[in-house]
Structure 1
């Protein structure tokens, strides 16, 4: 039986994070996505330390051996977060969610190259629909000369796929929990993000940013920082309390509501036959993929099930 509370919390947190990130980065033209990620990691480190120190959470110590083991994951995690912020800044939410569905294609390709895994024809068909929808939705932007956003989304998708494969490997070869990985990531990532800030123009851009005192920006920024941590918690809780199947279906439902709400809040979406068709085709591919899981077609879904649930935050 489905436990509705963790499922509803995941959809609310994931959808809210997407919209607050979009509001902070795009609506207020925030010039420093790396700084957002740094604040998210700092909040994760402080909260995990507080919960662990108070005995509310059991987290392994960040020894040199543990950090060395998780370093590849942390590096891919930094790339995953930073490129995701940049991508969301460059495109509207419907386009973002549509092109993000091509992540599973990158996962399948890297799984085949690195893990020698093969998927069935039904999974390939579902993936093909998602990829086709993404390309249809982005066609006008691509030929119209505004391909930068699409480029960053595909870089983001590549980093996501690599990050997911590292997660899979660590979970098979170690006893680290999700909270251990989150904590170790924050320990390794925070210094790297500080270095990126000092090596790029973002630090000077932060000093010139004019909206720090605006309540709506502060609310969006603070919500983004807090929700990024709780997103990982709700993913863990929903998957444990229900199943990866429920987690995947919740991800698709979250996308539907995020797109509908973004169309009412933001005005950066250009309606056209190609854009709307691409978004619809991408949703159909996603729901078909989710249907394979709900139908219990384990041979069709295979190992992609546990990875694809994390590819759409």
Structure 2
């Protein structure tokens, strides 16, 4: 799994660097990597790579459905840690939505805990580092410390590119130290076109997914990204019960998923209501300014 993360980072960094070299991408879309920009994103990169490594350690003794259940605690972690990194106002409805999401996670997880202290410790630390990296990303997205941008997309791509370059040597070192490169290099299907095509497609989608996470966080908020992830996880679990199997549709699981979706729906509605309120207020102020000038 670490090798795959390394492959993803290498593909993204190589592609952006190559496109910049041949002039297909300029500073209007992605700023170049510099040591100064790398230092400014060092904290974000530390949380990001820590989250990747801790998640893989957690999965060594925990099944994927249970790890996904733990990750649904990222919204409550973001809500609690937010005031320390990026203070922002939360309404009662938003807090209630996060409580519902967390309650749904706990409900769905009941009766499905094959407890392993080491794995759950790594999983808990992974949740914390994910919340920290999303909050740090939101804070970085709110300023222009890396340079000036013409669009939010350019800011997101620059942050993702600089962060990927920062993380690449660290992940490479971890792959070497863990010995994972030995087992991957001995994989017998490296020469098969079908395998290489599938690897390329999956890795490309992973790069797009990373960009989507960064864009959502920089444009919206860390809490919104975390809640969207919860809704996605709940929907994939429900769909998986009727397609690929492997998940038992117990009453507690179904009730937990419904509570999850209810919390996510409430959060979405509240954010939509706040946005409409802001637009209406902006239009009202614009009308007042126009009338005063007249």
Q: Which residue of 1 aligns with 2:102?
A: 131
Q: Which residue of 2 aligns with 1:287?
A: 265
Contact 2:105 2:260 in 1 (8 A): yes
| Partner secondary structure for residue 160 of structure 1 | helix
Q: Which residue of 2 aligns with 1:42?
A: 10
Q: Which residue of 2 aligns with 1:171?
A: 141
List alignment gaps of at least 5 residues for structure 1: 1-32, 300-313
Assess, with a 3 A threshold, how the Cα gap between structure 1 residues 110 and 275 changes in structure 2: closer, same or farther: same
Q: Which moved more, 1:276-285 or 1:256-265?
A: 256-265
- Give the distance between the partners of 2:270 and 2:220, measured in 1 at CA: 12
Matches within 5 A, 1:257-296: 257-296=235-274
Q: Which residue of 1 aligns with 2:22?
A: 54
Contact 1:98 1:283 in 2 (8 A): no
Equivalent of residue 180 in structure 2, options 202, 212, 216? 202
Question: 1:246-287 CA deviation, whole Å, 9 max, x = no partner?
Answer: x86976764455334433454432332222222222222111
Q: Which residue of 2 aligns with 1:80?
A: 51
Assess, with a 3 A threshold, how the Cα gap between structure 1 residues 72 and 235 changes in structure 2: closer, same or farther: closer
Q: Which moved more, 1:228-237 or 1:281-290?
A: 228-237
Matches within 5 A, 1:130-279: 130-142=101-113, 144-145=114-115, 150-176=120-146, 177-207=155-185, 209=187, 221-234=199-212, 244=220, 254-255=232-233, 257-279=235-257
Assess, with a 3 A threshold, how the Cα gap between structure 1 residues 239 and 184 changes in structure 2: closer, same or farther: closer
- Give the distance between the partners of 2:39 and 2:73, measured in 1 at CA: 31
List alignment gaps of at least 5 residues for structure 2: 147-154, 278-294
| Partner secondary structure for residue 83 of structure 2 | helix
Greater relative contact order: 1 or 2 (C-alpha under 8 angstroms, separation 6 or more)? 1
Contact 2:231 2:260 in 1 (8 A): no
Indicate the RMSD between aligned Cα atoms, in angstroms.
Answer: 3.5
> How many angstroms does 1:224 deviate by?
2.9
Assess, with a 3 A threshold, how the Cα gap between structure 1 residues 207 and 255 changes in structure 2: closer, same or farther: same
Equivalent of residue 70 in structure 1, options 29, 37, 41? 41
What TM-score comes out, normalization by structure 1 length?
Answer: 0.69
**How many matched pairs?**
263
- Give the distance between the partners of 1:44 and 1:261, measured in 2 at CA: 30
- Give the distance between the partners of 2:242 and 2:117, measured in 1 at CA: 25
Assess, with a 3 A threshold, how the Cα gap between structure 1 residues 182 and 39 changes in structure 2: closer, same or farther: same
What TM-score comes out, normalization by structure 2 length?
Answer: 0.73
- Give the distance between the partners of 1:292 and 1:220, measured in 2 at CA: 40
Q: Which moved more, 1:191-200 or 1:217-226?
A: 217-226
Q: Which residue of 1 aligns with 2:63?
A: 91
Contact 2:72 2:230 in 1 (8 A): no
> How many angstroms does 1:198 deviate by?
1.6
> How many angstroms does 1:235 deviate by?
5.4
Contact 1:40 1:228 in 2 (8 A): yes
Contact 1:91 1:149 in 2 (8 A): no
